[in-house]
Amino acid sequence: MSSGTTAASSADPHWASIRPAGCWSVKANPPCPCTAERSVSAALPDLLLDLGHSRVKWGWGRHGQLLESGTGACPLTDLAPLAGALATANGRRALLSGQSRIEVVNAVTTLIEGCGLSLQRIESGAPELLVKPAYPSLGCDRWLSLQWPWQQAQQACCVIDCGTAITVDLVDQNGLHRGGWIMAGLGSLQRGLLSLAPGLPPPKAPAGTSLQAATNSAAAITAGILCQLLGGIDRALDQARRTLGSDPQLWLTGGDAELIEAHLDRSLIRDRHLVLRGLALAADAQ
């Protein structure tokens, strides 16, 4: 099981050291320079970017695999960590899954192009991967998050992504995406409640540490919202089991995954990088 989501960010410095070999055997004819250049380009990793509603996450991929070093994340309100990671990066190209506002997409695009990388925006269903989207307008991040779990086990699975929104997506035993559910995430529920009832106290931090009946309003809001989320997830998973006739393998990802996992009484796999892993597979499919 993976460790919790981290917000730390830094590009892996060893990418800057990837260079073509400087010499060949004197007994052999040196390879054609254009062939060597293509070989070095293929060896460079791809920059993978998951642009969500509140954060941008990035990593590096090669041959369909996410390279665990060099992953990072930062809020959309402060892209300086991403700019710092890109300053020492040496990649082949950039692939972007973008769910955010157009002005944020444009700002990230400017950073990428400033590094001299070509940028390709990935859309649901293109390139073709093992799990096809159930409908054309499915969010690209949801579609990408299904690819790695299915590839690993080739069995029915549910992916729960706990971010600004909580999504629960179902893949059956034949690898068909059967659709899913979308709910407001923890922070979204808290902000929505306080915006409509400004007289209420803000929830106590850290959010969701207890589900016990509270003796003050701030703690009651914290526990109540978490109960609401857990109830929605449990109900969706019960419906998934009825649809499939058996319990699917459960995968958990997203910024609030660690918190949700602590209160879900179910066996699951937590992996904070499912969208980036899907992007690595998309890069390899092209």
DSSP-derived 3-state class of residue 82:
helix
> Per the CATH hierarchy, to which homologous superfamily does domain 124-277 belong?
ATPase, nucleotide binding domain (3.30.420.40)
pLDDT at position 206 is: 62
Residues of the chain with CATH 3.30.420.40: 44-121, 124-277
pLDDT at position 100 is: 72
Residue with the larger pLDDT of the pair 17 and 67: 67
In this structure, what token pair is assigned to residue 176? 């068909």
DSSP-derived 3-state class of residue 223:
helix
Residue 265 has pLDDT above 70, yes or no: yes
pLDDT at position 19 is: 32
d(CA 120, CA 46): 11
Q: Which of 3-7, 88-92, 136-140 has the highest mean pLDDT?
A: 136-140
pLDDT at position 148 is: 98
Region of poorest pLDDT, from 16-30, 82-96, 243-257: 16-30
If one looks up domain 44-121 in CATH, what number appears? 3.30.420.40
pTM: 0.84
DSSP-derived 3-state class of residue 89:
coil
Per residue in 87-129, pLDDT tens? 888 899 999 998 778 899 899 999 998 988 999 999 999 999 9
Q: DSSP code of 25? A: -
Per residue in 37-81, pLDDT tens? 444 456 899 999 999 999 999 999 999 999 989 999 999 999 999
Which own/partner pairs from 176-182 qualify as long-range (CB within 8 Å, at least 24 positions apart)?
Answer: 176/131, 176/132, 176/134, 177/131, 177/132, 177/133, 177/134, 177/138, 177/143, 177/146, 178/134, 178/243, 179/134, 179/135, 180/134, 180/142, 180/236, 181/232, 181/236
User: Residue 116, by phi and psi: left (phi above 0), alpha (psi -120 to 50) or beta?
Assistant: left
pLDDT at position 41 is: 58
What is the rounded average pLDDT for all residues in the chain?
86
Please indicate whether residue 141 is annotated as part of the active site.
yes
CB 60 within 8 A of CB 70: yes
Q: Which residue among the candidates 141, 161, 256, 271 is catalytic per the annotation?
A: 141
Task: Please compute, for residue 182, the number of CA atoms within 13 A of its CA located in the half-sphere on the CB side.
Answer: 8
Residue 168 has pLDDT above 80, yes or no: yes
